[in-house]
Structures are given as C-alpha cells and as structure tokens.
Amino acid sequence: MVEGHCVRTIHAETNAIIQAALHGVSTKGATCYVTHLPCINCTKALINAGIVKIVYSTAYRTDENAMNFLKGANIEVVQKEFKL
C-alpha cells in the first residue's frame, strides 16, 4: 500500500483489455460492462482498444475530459443499474 492505495492492482477495464490481448480475443466493436464510469486512463485505453459502447452502473468521479474523449470517439455511454 502506498498512501492508502494498492499499487499492485490495475483497473478492471485495463485488465479486461490485457486479458483479451493475452488470449487473442479482439476488442474491436465490443461493449464494455463496468460497475463505475471509467477514469481518464481507462477511457483512453478503451478508445484505443476499439470499444464502441460502455455500460456502467455508478458515476464516480466523472471526468469531463474523459466524457469529451468518449463523445469525440463516438462511443455510446449508457448508465444502467446492475443487479449483482
């Protein structure tokens, strides 16, 4: 832990992209389902991975730049309540 944050982890979006690449699965044209609206770094990774739609449950620390990037990339962003 460094300043209360685990430095050994990565965000789920980045992990999903890495796992897809590791197993030879294309993410081009895919939908990403996540619990929280992606952060700026995950947003950039999702755009570059060819994701076309993001479905999330909770808006947490919404980043205006991330939202502008998603809009500019024509990525559909949908908020939907998930029942886990």
What is d(CA 11, CA 44) in angstroms, rounded to the nearest whole number? 13
Q: Answer whether 0.75 is exceeded by the pTM.
A: yes
Reply yes or no on whether the pLDDT at 82 is more than 80. no
- Please give the pLDDT value at position 60: 84
pLDDT tens, position by position, 17-75: 999 999 999 999 999 999 999 999 999 999 999 999 999 999 988 999 999 999 999 99
- Please give the pLDDT value at position 68: 97
What is d(CA 16, CA 53) in angstroms, rounded to the nearest whole number? 14
Reply yes or no on whether the pLDDT at 83 is more than 80. no
Residues annotated as part of the active site: 13
Rounded alpha-carbon distances, angstroms, from residue 67 to 6, 14, 29, 39, 71? 26, 17, 19, 9, 6
